[in-house]
Amino acid sequence: MAKNKTPEQQDGPDPARYAVSDLDKAKAAKWFERAFEFGNRDKKYDSAIEYYVQGINFWPDAVEQGLKPLHACALAFRQSGGKKPGLKDTMKRSMTAKDPKEALINSLWLFGHEHDNLSYVEGVLKNADRLHAEECLMWAAGVYRKLLDDEKKPSTKRYMLLKETLEGAADRAVARGEISAAIAALEVGVQALSALAHRQSVKDRELENALRDLTTKLTIVRGRYQEADSFRESIRDESVAKELHDRERLVQAESRVDELIASAQRAYDADPDDVGKLNILIDLLCRRERFDEECKAIGILVNHFKRTGKYHAKQKADEIRMKQLRRDVRAARDKGDAEALRESQVNQIKFEMAVYKDRMEQYPTDLRIKFEYAQRLFQAGRYDEAIPLLQAARSDPKSRASCSLYLGRCFYKKGFFPQAVSTLSAALAEREIQDDDTAKEIAYYLGRAQESGGQVTDARKTYGRLLELDYNYRDVRQRLESLPRQ
């Protein structure tokens, strides 16, 4: 294989992505094909992991073809009783090797044999960053974030490492002119720090500052200020920096919020065609979740839509109204008022169905919108209308599992138990992660369909596997115990 020049071997800083030739991608595909056979056909997960890692060596950014299947294999390897890496393995496969690709491949091998080891995932993240394998980095960031969120005691140090890595990736993306990639990286970083902040019982000033700066940076990149020489230069003006800071703070004095709203209103009135100024005003009006201010925001957006015909304004107005209706449902539930709860839920579903039907007509090829509309139809009990939309929306890989879950549930509600079993079985088999919430929900309704369809033995097996993953999941234990003995 030809040696690709890594960013660390370049003369001076270089934001370029790690480049892979078509020939290397073809070589990687052969390794992935054999790995798939080992893992899915032969159940030789150890061999499959080796082959996936070898393929990734040729093509480090092969997320769908190599990295995700490797993760699935790692889970299967663990569930089959596979042995974790020992001291000799970690010494042989250094995650701090001088060559970043070698270090990345070593990290992936260790990850493949112990997928929930934070140090191994961290090794993948760091070395993908060193290599500028940006797609691999973003995939690793998602895996790393999930493991961090699952820790009983959150590690601020590791969250900050994730933030710094993503910020570096965003800076490189801006330098390459890939603004959408920069925004995606910064959004993941902001979400991670926000999640950490919500988990902490004691205020952390360093974390607050980091979250503020990263959020402001995201705002600036979204505003296409990427041509500034640096982040600090782009907010050099002290008054602008203060206003950006205040806009992003979660808690502020009431008078300061009023001032910000008034300032934003004046700016918008002076230039009502500026979408950025519109968005700032709307965000501030919705900040305190006051009904009157939200209704004012809705009115401004609706008028903007009528005047300009820009559909995004109507979408934002609908989002605010849906948020209000969700609050009504929560309030009724908290009060324990059954009648008010039923009424608020009906109002919510009716409005959301109308919103997503309208969006589907506006964007007829958007599969995600089809799925959202189908979800509401399911909640309204309109299964015959939901089924064809779910079948169409399954073509979107991002929502395929959720579409299959709702499709199986539609069949179940209709009493079509064989179709429900077939749909849910296929959906579960396709899941690369078998122990997340979606997989458990698919398995639960698969068991329900098997039970209702008279497949008692299969239902017993499905419920039994769920108990092994989560002993207190819903009413699985009671259902398993109530199945007739055979």
Sign of CA dihedral 55, 57, 58, 62: positive
pLDDT band, residue 246 (cuts 50/70/90): low
For residue 83, pLDDT over 80 is answered with yes
- Token pair recorded at residue 251: 């808690």
CB 405 within 8 A of CB 441: yes
For residue 245, pLDDT over 90 is answered with no
* Letter string b/e over residues 386-398, b meaning 16 or more CB atoms within 10 A of that residue's CB: bbebbbebbeeee
* Count of domains observed in the chain: 1
Does 47 reside within a domain? Answer: no
Contacts of 147 (CB under 8 A, 6+ apart): 116, 118, 121
CB 247 within 8 A of CB 283: yes
Determine the pLDDT at residue 397.
Answer: 82
Q: Where are the beta strands (DSSP E) in 394-448?
A: none
Q: Which domain holds residue 447?
A: 394-486
Determine the pLDDT at residue 195.
Answer: 85
Q: What is the largest CA-CA distance in the chain?
A: 77
- Token pair recorded at residue 126: 């760091």
Determine the pLDDT at residue 235.
Answer: 46
Please state which of the ranges 96-105, 246-255, 260-269, 368-377 shows the lowest mean pLDDT: 246-255
Determine the pLDDT at residue 169.
Answer: 95
For residues 241 and 359, the model is more confident at: 359
Does 442 reside within a domain? Answer: yes
Residue matched to tokens 């505003």: 223
d(CA 344, CA 340): 6
Q: How far is CA 309 from CA 157, 178, 367, in A?
A: 47, 29, 23
Please state which of the ranges 69-83, 198-212, 323-337 shows the lowest mean pLDDT: 198-212
Taking the chain, what is the end-to-end CA distance rounded to the nearest angstrom? 58
Determine the pLDDT at residue 288.
Answer: 84
d(CA 258, CA 129): 43
pLDDT above 70 coverage of the chain, percent? 90
Contacts of 416 (CB under 8 A, 6+ apart): none
Please state which of the ranges 6-20, 345-359, 450-464 shows the lowest mean pLDDT: 6-20
For residue 402, pLDDT over 70 is answered with yes
Q: How far is CA 42 from CA 50, 77, 452, in A?
A: 14, 13, 33
| Mean of the per-residue pLDDT values of the chain | 87
Residue whose C-alpha is closest to residue 81's, from 30, 39, 46, 52 = 46
For residues 396 and 341, the model is more confident at: 341
Chain-centre distance of CA 185, in angstroms? 12
Q: How far is CA 267 from CA 263, 277, 278, 293, 475, in A?
A: 6, 7, 9, 17, 55
- Token pair recorded at residue 236: 């050099």
Does 446 reside within a domain? Answer: yes
pLDDT band, residue 411 (cuts 50/70/90): very high
CB 73 within 8 A of CB 113: no
Mean pLDDT of 41-50: 90
For residue 234, pLDDT over 80 is answered with no
Mean pLDDT of 386-392: 97
For residue 135, pLDDT over 90 is answered with yes
Does 416 reside within a domain? Answer: yes
For residue 127, pLDDT over 70 is answered with yes
d(CA 324, CA 321): 5
Determine the pLDDT at residue 198.
Answer: 80
For residue 10, pLDDT over 50 is answered with no
Determine the pLDDT at residue 399.
Answer: 86
Contacts of 333 (CB under 8 A, 6+ apart): 341
Burial environment of residue 9 by CB neighbours within 10 A (0 to 12, 13 to 18, 19 or more)? exposed
Chain-centre distance of CA 75, in angstroms? 20
d(CA 166, CA 157): 14
CB 93 within 8 A of CB 54: no
d(CA 141, CA 134): 10
Burial environment of residue 61 by CB neighbours within 10 A (0 to 12, 13 to 18, 19 or more)? buried
- Token pair recorded at residue 438: 């979606």
Give phi and psi for 93, each to the nearest 5. -115, 85
pLDDT band, residue 3 (cuts 50/70/90): very low
Q: Which own/partner contact pairs does 289-296 have at CB distance under 8 Å and 24+ positions apart?
A: 289/327, 291/324, 293/261, 294/320, 294/323, 294/324
CB 396 within 8 A of CB 367: yes
* Letter string b/e over residues 119-139, b meaning 16 or more CB atoms within 10 A of that residue's CB: ebbbbbbbbbbbbbbbbbbbb
Determine the pLDDT at residue 230.
Answer: 45
For residues 434 and 67, the model is more confident at: 67
For residue 7, pLDDT over 80 is answered with no
Mean pLDDT of 68-96: 90
For residue 225, pLDDT over 50 is answered with no
d(CA 338, CA 407): 29
Residue matched to tokens 């590690």: 155
d(CA 7, CA 24): 18
- Token pair recorded at residue 428: 């579960």
Does 464 reside within a domain? Answer: yes
Give phi and psi for 398, each to the nearest 5. -70, -30
For residue 60, pLDDT over 90 is answered with yes
Domain harbouring 407, CATH code? 1.25.40.10
pLDDT band, residue 220 (cuts 50/70/90): confident
Residue matched to tokens 């995700």: 68
Does 445 reside within a domain? Answer: yes
Mean pLDDT of 86-113: 93
Determine the pLDDT at residue 240.
Answer: 53
For residues 379 and 245, the model is more confident at: 379
CB 25 within 8 A of CB 3: no
- Token pair recorded at residue 315: 């979408």
d(CA 67, CA 62): 6
Mean pLDDT of 112-118: 94
Determine the pLDDT at residue 12.
Answer: 39
Determine the pLDDT at residue 242.
Answer: 53
Does 149 reside within a domain? Answer: no
pLDDT band, residue 229 (cuts 50/70/90): very low
d(CA 464, CA 364): 42
For residue 224, pLDDT over 60 is answered with no
Does 467 reside within a domain? Answer: yes
Mean pLDDT of 217-228: 66
